A and B are shown apart, each in its own frame.
Chain A
Amino acid sequence: MTFRAMKVFGTSAAIGLMAASSVWATECIAPANPGGGWDFTCRQVGKILFDIGQVDQPVQVTNMAGAGGGLAFSTVVNERNTDEDLIIAASSATTTRLAQNAYGGATADQVRFVGAIGADPGVIVVAADSPFQTLGDLVEAVKADPGSVAFAGGSAAGGFDHMKPLQVLKAGGFTDITKVKYIGVDGGADAITQTVGGFTQAMTGDMSEIVGFIKSGEVRALAVLTEERVPGFEDIPTAKEQGFDVVAVNWRGLYVPKGISDEAFAKWAGRLQAVADSAEWKEAMAANGLAPFTKVGDDFQSWIDQVVADTTELSKEIGVIQ
Chain B
Amino acid sequence: MDLISNLALGFSIALSPWTLMLAVIGAFVGTIIGALPGLGPSNGVAILIPLAFTMGLDATSALVLLTSVYYGAMYGGRISSILLNIPGDEPALMTTLDGYPMAKQGRAGDALVISGVASFVGAFIATIGLAIMAPMLARVAYLFGPAEYFALYLLAFCTLGGIASKNQAKAALASCIGLGIAMIGLDNTSGMPRFTYGNLHLMDGVDFLVAIVGLFAIAEVFFFIESHGKESAIGVKLEKITIPVKDIVGSTGAMLRSTVIGFFAGVLPGAGASLGSFMAYVAQKAADPDKASYGKGNPKGVAAPEAGNNAAAGGALVPMLTLGVPGSGTTAVLLALLMTLNITPGPTLFTDRPEVVWGLIASLLIANIVLLVMNVPMVKIFVKVLTVPAWVLLPGVTMVSFVGIYSLTGSYFDLVLMIAFGALGYVLRKLDIPTVPVILGILLGNHMEDSLRRAMVISDGDWTFLFSSPISIGLWIAAIAGFVAPIFLRGILKKPEIRDADELVD
Set A7, A66, A190: member contacting B346, Cβ < 8 A: A190
Complex contacts, B224 vs chain A, CB 8 Å: none
Are A3 and B400 in contact, with the CB atoms below 8 A?
no
A3-B385, A17-B55, A320-B191 known; A66-B409 Cβ under 8 A: yes
Q: How far is the CB of B485 from chain A (nearest CB, A)?
A: 31
Instruction: Say yes or no: is A199 at the interface (Cβ < 8 Å to chain B).
Output: yes
Task: Specify which of A66, A147, A187 lies most central, judged by the most chain B CB atoms within 10 Å of its CB.
Answer: A66
A187 to B341, CA, bound (A): 14
Q: How far is the CB of A212 from chain B (nearest CB, A)?
A: 6
B 385-403 to A, binary, CB cutoff 8 A, 1 in contact else 0: 1001000110011011001
Q: How far is the CB of A52 from chain B (nearest CB, A)?
A: 27
Instruction: Say yes or no: is B232 at the interface (Cβ < 8 Å to chain A).
Output: no
A63 to B411, CA, bound (A): 11
Set A36, A74, A182, A199: member contacting B146, Cβ < 8 A: A199
- Which stretch of A81-89, A154-162, A165-173, A229-237 is in the interface? A154-162
Nearest opposing residue in chain A for B447, CB measure: A186
Residues 182-197 of A contacting B (Cβ, < 8 Å):
182-187, 189-190, 192-194, 196-197
Task: Specify which of A11, A65, A190, A212 lies most central, judged by the most chain B CB atoms within 10 Å of its CB.
Answer: A11
Instruction: Say yes or no: is B366 at the interface (Cβ < 8 Å to chain A).
Output: no
Chain B's interface size range is 35 or more
A135 to B251, CA, bound (A): 65
Q: How far is the CB of A163 from chain B (nearest CB, A)?
A: 11
A194 to B455, CA, bound (A): 11
Complex contacts, A74 vs chain B, CB 8 Å: 200
Complex contacts, A212 vs chain B, CB 8 Å: 348, 351-352
Q: How far is the CB of B268 from chain A (nearest CB, A)?
A: 22
A13 to B454, CA, bound (A): 45
Are B186 and A181 in contact, with the CB atoms below 8 A?
no
Complex contacts, B105 vs chain A, CB 8 Å: none
B 445-478 to A, binary, CB cutoff 8 A, 1 in contact else 0: 0010010001001101000000000000000000
Nearest opposing residue in chain A for B145, CB measure: A199
A14-B407, A184-B189 known; A4-B54 Cβ under 8 A: no
Are B200 and A70 in contact, with the CB atoms below 8 A?
yes
Complex contacts, B352 vs chain A, CB 8 Å: 189, 212
Q: How far is the CB of B336 from chain A (nearest CB, A)?
A: 13
Instruction: Say yes or no: is B293 at the interface (Cβ < 8 Å to chain A).
Output: no
**Besides the known contacts A64-B410, A183-B458, A189-B348, 17 further A-B residue pairs in the complex with CB atoms under 8 A apart:** A4-B388, A4-B396, A7-B393, A10-B400, A15-B403, A66-B411, A67-B203, A71-B201, A74-B200, A183-B146, A183-B457, A189-B344, A189-B352, A192-B348, A197-B143, A199-B145, A200-B458
